[in-house]
Structure 1
Amino acid sequence: MVLPSFLSRVRPLALALSLGGLGGCMLGPDYRRPAVSMPVEYKEAAGWKAATPHDGKAHGDWWQAFGDPQLDALLVQVEVSNPNVAQYLAQYAKARALTGEARADLFPSLSGSAGMTRSGSGGGSYLTSSTGSSSSSSGTQSSRSVSGISNNYSTQLSLSWEPDLWGKLRRTLEENRTSAEASAAELADATLSAQSSLAQNYFQLRVLDERIRLYDVNIRSYQRYLQVVRDQYEEGQTSRATLAQAETQLESARASSLDLQWQRAQYEHAIAILIGKAPAEFSLPVVEHFDYRIPQTSAGVASSLLERRPDVAAAEREVAAANAAIGVALSGYFPDLTLSASGGFQSSSTQKLFTVANRFWSIGPSFSQTLFDFGATGAQVDQARAAYDATVASYRQTVLDALGEVEDCLVELRTLETELAARRRAADAARESERVTYDQYREGMIDYLDVATTQNTSLSEQQSVLQLVATQLVTSVQLIVALGGGWQSGTEGLAEAR
């Protein structure tokens, strides 16, 4: 066959030029990570407890450190069911596809075609027969239209390739690849953010359950107290003001309990949405007792944030993509070379299509270059450099924000530990004061107003303890997430994007 013979001649040339093009120069600066000022250690980590193990990293499923099976089951669903995470997953898949497309542009493309056309030309009519007589003017005649019709059959293969003389295609591949890596990090960050929100909502809900349970206990006590006071009032042993005070205390506690119940419902709705369910399809039953654990977390060295925070990694990869875009823009100053070759057969008959006499072929290079564009190429280069500077500034700001988040969580957790201990002592003292005061009231030594005051104080202190527990749990989640959760750069997702 002639066409395979033609391709056998072209293939060595294309391979040689491909290897030469892939080894050509690359315009634009080679990427180097921007320098950022990183402290040796965190300011607020002084005296901080070391975690076990002592590597300062939360690997894998970070939420397991809290030891709550219900929380574990919920957080696993975020990665597979959360619509926002699914959106970032689709964007990552798109970025990887763009990387594959850019990689394919480095190599020749082969296309084929086959077709048949029918065409006609000319045409007319001529007389075929006639009859007649001298006695009449009648007769008959006929004509036939004639036209030239031809068929044309063809088959063709075309080979085209743009040698990457100036590194434009390789810089484009670099830009798309680093963008895909940034997309992978953004996916991890979105997943971590959704998991963090769910964990915080879960702990808030569980503590609200404890606070509602505490109100229920006090409401039952207030009901008993109210019955005692009502009996005394009916017997004339106490005043109407004392009865009103007992009623006020009971109804106030009921109102506060109802206020917490709608808050609990809203947290439950938020959890349902985070796992990709409608609120009507999800419920989280109240547990008999909420046993919580505050995990010990080691902050590690500050510089580890550059590898452990997915948002920092995403910002750094965006810088790398912007750096590659400069090389793409600079290539606009230089001509594009395209090598093309085609060959095939063309005939009016399929029986004689694949013969030497009916073959055709062409091969040759072509150059294209913008000779004058009124500064458009220079403007594109300036845009690329400005975009790079913007991503560098954004990267450095992201690092600063990350450092600030860790410092904030460290100081809050350290302070909360001392504050919670003091609040628990105050709650214990308030409960003792409530007990003593009620005993004095039963002995007739004081009025019920004093009892109500100490009871309200005791309830308030116990509620404050639970509120601090919720804050401590939420801050613990925030610290783990601020340190990057279980994510680390160089994960499988990033490796696949390369």
Structure 2
Amino acid sequence: MRDRRAQNGRSLVVCLLGLVTLLTGCKVGPNYQRPDTLAPPDYKEARTAETGAAGAVLPPMNPAGGTWTPASPSDGMLRGKWWEVYQDPQLNALEEQIAPENQNLRAALEAYLSARGQVRVARADFYPTLSVTPAVNRTQVSSHRPLITNSTKTGYSDFQLEGQASWEPDLWGRVRRNVEAAHESAQASAADLANLGLSLHAELALDYFELRGLDSDARLLAKAVSDYQHQLDLNQELVKGGLATEVVVAQALTQLETTRAHLVDVNEARSEYEHAIATLINKEARDVSLAPAPLDLALPKIPLGVPSQLIERRPDIAAAERRAAAANAQIGIAISAFYPNVVLGGGGGFESTNAGTLIQGPSALWSLGAQATELLFDAGKRHAITDQARHNYEAQASTYRASVLGAFNEVEDRLSDLRVLNEESTAEQRAVAAAQHSLDLSNQRYKGGATSYLEVLIADSTLLTNQRTSTDLVTRQFVASVGLVRALGGGWDTTQMPH
């Protein structure tokens, strides 16, 4: 009889496992497909021949009727440490301090690690839960209870060593969809981390080039102060010799002090950029002191690639796409609520009134069972949750498409900036040359007595203004090139996301 019961128990287990194996291949809800986006065949601004001279390396144009794509990996792509393209050792040293020091980046890293932990939490539901409950009890009952006799024992011991197992098989894919959602959310968090890193590195490069541009401006102003001081001294000597009036000295002094004031203002602005750099590398302002270094670098050529690559290279696009995938998995989770929950359970162990006979065959006990629960009425709650999940997916998909479109347009903006700034810089260089020639002529006329010193002042001021404008345009070109790198996604791509 006992053997028959054991055989029946084994048959029940085999049947249950066979049923579970048959059903666990089912996974309700839509399988994810990346939302459709339309990438242009090339960048509009890249069609302008001058763009190549404005700091961007262009790929070949698509052949007629073709879909040219460079091989991967491509030498025309930005690398991980994209700032090294500027070949500035001081910039490189500062950029290397962001990852270990910046607290915002550390917070994003911890958020990613937390999301990765959630994946392990979701995966744990694939497995049964096991528990063990050893127990020892000593019981003393009343000697005066009803129907007791003198031979009845009023005290006894109970030794138990039992274990329980409970498992909810993933019949409808709820656990698998949960793992999908957690995994894709973790990937989105990793892309957020990469995007923040890109933003911080780009911000530091922007601040650095703005600072060096101010150093170039300060160099111009310092030279002008020296020249104006020399002119003031010369005019004071002319006044002493009766060859000029005090008006000339007052004009020269006004020009000198105005330029000195501009120099003070430039140095103040430089200090603020230095403090901003200190904040980015998590240091106190007093601990960061950058020696003046005018911006005499050559503007590097930024490799563009083709627009379709932008979807893989922008971490913010990747984050939006991964959130759409996670939202899609939530639809399956919501749909699984329409199906019954099945729980398999069992337990076994030993029980005896004597510790010496606890681990013996006659002391054994066991049980197996299964339970199914189906919700019959919830006033439309599950339908509402499913509709909510579908709408949330559509919202995330629209956000992804908007991110892609915004990325294409941002690249176009930065390419346009570089093209226009290149044209403006070329024109401004001609203006500087013309202003220098005008100043030389005015000096000759003044020395020959053919004009007043006011003409010299105006020519001098015009030259300095054009020189400062030319310097500012160089700075803006570097800033725009950093903006282009950022718009292209830096040296990151989706292969760097955790799998």
Per the alignment, in what secondary structure is the counterpart of residue 490 of structure 1?
helix
| Alignment match, 2:234 | 228
Q: Determine helix, strand or coil for the equivalent of 2:171.
A: coil
In structure 1, what is the Cα distance between the partners aligned to 2:125 and 2:474? 58
Note if 1:89 corresponds to 2:109.
Answer: yes
Tell me the alpha carbon deviations over residues 362-409 of structure 1, each in whole angstroms, 9 at most, x when there is no partner: 211111222211111111111101100110111111011101100001
> 1:139 is matched with which residue?
none
Whether the 8 Å contact between 2:166 and 2:344 is mirrored in structure 1 is yes
**Equivalent residues in 2 for 1:6-405 (5 A)?**
19-23=21-25, 25-46=26-47, 47=49, 48-49=51-52, 51=57, 55=74, 56-118=76-138, 120-122=140-142, 151-287=157-293, 289-405=294-410
Is 1:427 the counterpart of 2:447? The answer is no
The answer to whether the Cα contact below 8 Å between 2:174 and 2:333 also exists between their aligned partners in 1 is yes
Contact 2:46–2:58 under 8 Å retained in 1: no
CA contact 1:17–1:163 (8 Å) conserved in 2: no
Query: 1:349 & 1:152 partners in 2: Cα distance?
Result: 7
Deviation at 1:20, TM superposition (A): 3.9
Equivalent-residue separation in structure 2 for 1:431 and 1:156 (angstroms): 97
Question: Deviations for 1:333-374, whole angstroms, at most 9, x for unmatched residues?
Answer: 111111111112234443333233433222111112222111
Distance 1:121 1:470, change over 3 A: farther
Query: CA 1:256–1:149 in structure 2 vs 1: closer, same or farther (change >3 Å)?
Result: farther
Cα offset, 1:234, TM superposition: 4.4
Give the partner amino acid of 2:231: Y
Name whichever of 207-216 and 352-361 sits farther off. Answer: 352-361
**CA 11–63 in structure 1, closer or farther in 2 if over 3 Å, else same:** farther
Q: Let me know the Cα RMSD of the aligned residues.
A: 2.5
- State which structure, 1 or 2, has the greater radius of gyration over its C-alpha atoms: 1
TM-score norm. by structure 2 comes to 0.87
For 1:439 and 1:365, how far apart are their aligned partners in 2? 106
With over 3 angstroms needed to count, the CA separation of the structure-2 counterparts of 1:387 and 1:239, relative to structure 1, is same
- How many Å separate the matches in 1 of 2:16 and 2:444? 101
Matches of 2:107 and 2:189 in 1, distance apart? Answer: 11
**More deviation in 26-35 or 226-235?**
226-235
1:446 aligned counterpart, secondary structure: coil
Compute the TM-score of the two structures, normalised by the length of structure 1.
0.87
**Structure 1 residue 16: Cα displacement:** 5.2
CA distance, structure 2, for counterparts of residue 59 and residue 365 of structure 1: 57
- Which position in structure 1 is the counterpart of 2:63? none
In the TM superposition, residue 114 of structure 1 has moved relative to its aligned partner by: 2.7
Q: Of 437, 442, 454, which residue of structure 2 is paired with 1:437? A: 442
Cα distance between partner residues in 1 of 2:358 and 2:58 = 78
Distance 1:27 1:228, change over 3 A: same
Q: Among residues 463, 471, 484, which one is paired with 1:466 in the alignment?
A: 471
Counterparts of 1:76 and 1:20, CA distance in 2: 54
Q: Which amino acid aligns with 1:278?
A: E
Would the aligned equivalents of 2:58 and 2:305 in 1 still touch at CA under 8 Å? no
For the residues of structure 2 that align with 1:52 and 1:306, how far apart are their CA atoms?
Answer: 18
- CA drift at 1:440: 2.8
CA distance 1:490–1:251, shift in 2 (3 Å): same
**Number of aligned residues:** 465
* SS of aligned partner of 1:363: strand
Is the 2:134–2:161 contact (alpha carbons within 8 Å) kept by the matching residues of 1? yes
Offset of 1:17 from its aligned partner? 6.0
CA distance in 2, matches of 1:71, 1:121: 84
Of 256-265 and 441-450, deviating more is 441-450
Q: How far has the Cα of 1:167 moved from its partner? A: 0.9
Q: Is the 8 A contact 1:45 1:299 kept in 2?
A: no
SS in 2 for 1:365: strand
SS at match of 1:338: strand
| Partner SS, residue 105 of structure 1 | helix
Separation (CA, whole Å) in 2 of partners of 1:117 and 1:454: 106
Tell me how far 1:415 sits from its aligned partner.
Answer: 1.6
Unaligned runs of 5+ in 2: 1-5, 60-69, 145-152
What letter is aligned with 1:173?
A: V
1:236 CA displacement: 4.4
Residue 51 of structure 1, CA deviation: 3.0
Output one character per residue of 1:236-264: Cα deviation in whole Å (capped at 9) or x when no partner. 44333322221211111111111111111
Moved more, 26-35 or 155-164: 155-164
